[in-house]
Amino acid sequence: MGIIVDLLSTLLLILYSLLGQNVVLAIVAFTVIVRLSLLPLTIKQQRSMKRMQELSPKLKQLQTKYKDDRETLVQEQMKLYKEHGVNPFAGCLPLLIQLPIFFGLWRAIIATLASSPGQLLELQNHIMLPGLDHLIPLHNTFLWLNLALPDPYFVLPVIVVVTTYLQQRLIMPVRPKTNTPTQPRKPGQRPDASEQAEQMTRQMTTIMPFFLGFLSLSYSSGLSIYFIVSNLIGIMQYAMMGKADFRRLIGKESPKAAAEAAARRSEAEAEDGMPLEAATATATPSASTGRSERQLKPGMVMTTLKNAPPSSTASGNTSSKRSGSTSRSSAAARRSATATRTRSSTKTKRR
Amino acid sequence: MNKKLSRNGLFIAVALLVLLSACSRQRDTWPGIAGTTNGDTVLISYKRTVISLNAEKDRNWTYRGEDDTDFYAPAVIADGRAYVGDYKGRIHAINLEDGKRIWMYEAERQQFLWFTVGAVDRVIGPIGLGGDMLFFGTEHGVSALNIANDEPELAWEFGTGHSVWAQPVYLNNPELDFPPTLFVTSLDKHLYALNPENGEERWSLDMGGGMPGGITLDIEHRRLYVGTLAGEIIAVSFDGQELANYETEGWVWGNPVLHNGYLYFGDLDGMLYELEVTESGFGEATKRKLSEEPLRATPLVVEDEAGQAVLVIGSDDQLVYAIDLSQPNWISDDDIDVRWKQEANAAAVTELTTVELEGKELVIVGTENKDRLVLALDLNNDGKREWAYKYEK
């Protein structure tokens, strides 16, 4: 970690020197450079996340299919990953590489702004190039701020919270709105992995803005500027990659994103010959059937689908894609799915 | 499930906090050390307390601030009082006898709803005294308090481009035929001469580097000496002319000590210097590596039992060094003739002072280790540790 802090502190000092000894400009340039240099990793991470997202319906189906056989489930999951060339840990790896750099950034900014004698004394150990000593200490005043100290008027912490929230909201997918609301689980029943991950992501959307806001209240304003610039760059990156969906800010998904999500779902259903709603064991009180939702006993599989066409859970767009996908499904899968439905139907009728 | 996920969220937040605090761990701040002129008391400013110890390490009293504020600035002792600033910009006058507060000055801050808003001006350096005036450095300059009749009142404020961490030096010597002047060193790389009555600037000089340390006055030559983070010792006349400068190997943090026509100081590269003072500026200079770690503090020059001058200085290498200045060639071509060096078991970075205990002259040094926050070393007995004070709240 030490070498990263030294490198970044030296880079920050060089930028400070080049940009007219303006700390704010130096931090902005510094953040841009670091974020751009990490861009390949970010893209890789996003691609990996996207692939995982695409596989999510299939994984759900496997989980349902092998819910009583954990060993086979793991084997099938690994097989699925292999077939699609996905490494489930590939999404974490870029993040792991980025973490020390972000912590290094954090420490470099605090070290370079040196708000106490101890920090200033330590700073000399972080400078890797001769000739930068004369820049120390940095001119740390900007508008009403002493950049080495927290914002006394709480303006920056508020902006940090808002921009972090916006960024999180923009990148987080909206929960697909279907006619099949999630069935309440029985006591002791575990949520599936993807559901858990989604919940965690949503929690992070709430926690992260306040967490960073708290840090902004406690640490130097320079760090707050870094958070804000970093968030704005993040939003811009997503926007430029066509991934920022501003409708998400009001809890809506763009038609394109909704169509893509639905297509993934229908493709997964088609491959298995079984609608996802069935696979995830949620009752489907479709509008067309008018049935109320009810919980199935463990081991039971959905029944009402033969009355509820898949298109009823998605837009018209999705419907057409779904039929296209279905036509590509194998006959064997169809037969298997039909058999399942019949058996399930019988069980439900017995209730 | 929600409970479980909430727990997970909480866990993530706590883990992030722990990780960040571990990653952002910085070196501890050292205590401020001050001694009374009669050598019987040591005052320690550390965390939320100012502690008075006698020469035997017994605690005379403990002073606590208004709330959770920290004290790191060395106290200044005058007329039976200790004056000290805190990290919330307040100035405290403490009775030296019993540790009771005489008064406390706090600058007004704005209230917005239930929040107190506006910058907190930490007082990091010692206070300067001059008659009924008291001068202290802040985050944005220097302020003066009129303390007549124990009713502290802000007299004036002078803004600098950066913080003032050093003690402002008040010069008022009728023999000099020079008006009373307040000299201030700032981290904005400027040395200021101010009118102590109203804070008006008489002159300022760009020194090329920040100055966290203070000023050494040389009344005989009508000049002052300052060390800078640009790695220089600079001589400046009282009227603001740069007379001479000497380049050092590393940053100079503490002030140089003037003794017998020579300046003694260390730098953050661990070099110790002896620099001759001449009529025109600086003369011969000698330097030797004393330590591999920084020599941050101002050295202390004291007389031993035989009346010989001894220089004592602490280092980040956890050692305290004593050097016999009376020895000819103490700083020879090959090495430094160290009289003794003593383990401090922690970075010994504070200013030094002395106390007397049963005829022994004890050198007091502060460290960054709470378990051995202050050490008393016997000057005349090879620096033998007489006692170590462990910080207790």
Tell me the per-residue pLDDT of B89-139, one tens digit each, with 9 for 90 and over: 999 999 999 999 999 998 877 666 666 666 678 899 999 999 899 999 998
Q: Could A124 and B250 be called an inter-chain contact, meaning their C-beta atoms sit closer than 8 Å? A: yes
Cα Rg of chain B, angstroms: 22
User: How would you class A24 by CB atoms within 10 Å of its CB: exposed for 0-12, middle for 13-18, buried for 19 or more?
Assistant: middle
Helix H or strand E encompassing A163: helix A155-171
CA dihedral A337, A339, A344, A347 (to 10 degrees): -170
pLDDT value for A39: 82
pLDDT tens-digit readout, B301-354: 999 999 999 999 999 999 999 999 887 777 776 677 899 999 998 899 899 999
Give whole-number Cα distances, A337 to A63, A83, A332, A340, B292, in Å: 16, 22, 9, 5, 77
Residue A74 structure tokens: 């793991």
CA dihedral A243, A247, A252, A255 (to 10 degrees): -60
**List of E strands, B113-208:** 115-117, 128-130, 133-137, 141-146, 153-159, 169-171, 181-185, 190-194, 201-206
Residue A156 at interface with chain B, using a CB cutoff of 8 Å: no
pLDDT value for A95: 65
Within a 10 A sphere around the Cβ of A254, how many other Cβ atoms? 13
Distance CA B51, CA B31 (A): 11
Choose among B5, B20, B124: nearest Cβ to A117: B124
Residue A182 at interface with chain B, using a CB cutoff of 8 Å: no
Judge contact between B186 and B161, C-beta under 8 A.
yes
For chain B, what is the total number of helices (H) and then of strands (E)? 1, 34
Choose among B1, B139, B230: nearest Cβ to A146: B139
CA A24 to chain CA centroid, Å, is: 29
Distance CA A345, CA A15 (A): 69
A339 or B21, higher pLDDT = B21
The mean pLDDT of B47-69, rounded to a whole number, is 91
Residue B177 structure tokens: 């035929």
Does the ipTM exceed 0.90? no
Distance CA B282, CA A68 (A): 88
Residue A188 at interface with chain B, using a CB cutoff of 8 Å: no
User: How would you class A49 by CB atoms within 10 Å of its CB: exposed for 0-12, middle for 13-18, buried for 19 or more?
Assistant: middle
For B365, phi then psi, to 5°, come to -135, 140
Distance CA B359, CA B376 (A): 14
Rounded to a whole number of angstroms, the distance between the first and last alpha carbons of chain A is: 62
Q: Look at residue A348 and give its three-state secondary structure.
A: helix
Peptide bond just before A137 cis, omega within 30 deg = yes
Sheet holding B262-266, edge to edge: B257-259, B262-266, B271-277, B282-289
Judge contact between A212 and A161, C-beta under 8 A.
yes
Within a 10 A sphere around the Cβ of A39, how many other Cβ atoms? 13
pLDDT tens-digit readout, B198-218: 999 999 999 999 999 999 999
Judge contact between A204 and B12, C-beta under 8 A.
yes
Question: Hey, of B12, B111, B163, which one would you mutate to test binding to chain A, going by the most A CBs within 10 A of its CB?
Answer: B163
Measured between CA atoms, how close is A206 to chain B, in angstroms? Answer: 9
Distance CA B88, CA B383 (A): 37
B26 or A62, higher pLDDT = A62
Q: What is the largest CA-CA distance in chain B?
A: 83
Residue of B nearest to A132 (CA): B230
Q: How many residues does chain B have?
A: 393
Q: Could you please report the per-residue DSSP string of B7-20?
A: HHHHHHHHHHHHHH
pLDDT value for B259: 95
Residue A126 at interface with chain B, using a CB cutoff of 8 Å: no
Choose among A139, A185, A211: nearest Cβ to B13: A211
Tell me the angle at which helices A221-240 and A193-218 cross, rounded to the nearest 10 degrees.
140
Residue B29 at interface with chain A, using a CB cutoff of 8 Å: yes
pLDDT tens-digit readout, B75-90: 999 999 999 999 989 9
- In chain A, residues with a C-beta closer than 8 Å to the C-beta of B208 are 134
Distance CA B269, CA B296 (A): 9
pLDDT value for B285: 93
Q: Exposure string (b/e) for A132-157, b if CB count within 10 Å is 16 or more?
A: bbebbbbbbbbeebbbbbbbbbebbb
pLDDT value for B385: 95
pLDDT tens-digit readout, A159-198: 999 998 888 877 665 555 444 444 455 555 555 555 555 6
pLDDT value for A310: 39
pLDDT value for A335: 42
Choose among B13, B120, B250: nearest Cβ to A152: B120
Size of interface A-B (CB pairs under 8 A): 105
Measured between CA atoms, how close is B236 to chain A, in angstroms? Answer: 20
Residue B51 structure tokens: 């502690």
DSSP-derived letter for residue B113 is: T
Q: Could A118 and B26 be called an inter-chain contact, meaning their C-beta atoms sit closer than 8 Å? A: yes
- In chain B, residues with a C-beta closer than 8 Å to the C-beta of A119 are 26-27
Helix H or strand E encompassing A225: helix A221-240
Residues 193-222 (B) with a CB less than 8 A from some CB of A = 208-210, 212
pLDDT < 70 regions, chain A: 1, 88-95, 97-98, 171-202, 243-351
Residue A292 at interface with chain B, using a CB cutoff of 8 Å: no
Distance CA A141, CA A134 (A): 18
Half-sphere exposure of B113 (CA within 13 A, CB side): 3
Sheet holding B309-314, edge to edge: B300-303, B309-314, B319-324, B338-343
Measured between CA atoms, how close is B188 to chain A, in angstroms? Answer: 7
Distance CA B260, CA B56 (A): 32
Measured between CA atoms, how close is B26 to chain A, in angstroms? Answer: 7
CA angle A52/A53/A58 to nearest 5° reads 85
Judge contact between B290 and B271, C-beta under 8 A.
yes
pLDDT value for A158: 93
Q: Could A203 and B6 be called an inter-chain contact, meaning their C-beta atoms sit closer than 8 Å? A: yes
pLDDT value for A268: 56
Helix H or strand E encompassing A203: helix A193-218
Residue A225 structure tokens: 């500027």
pLDDT value for B166: 95
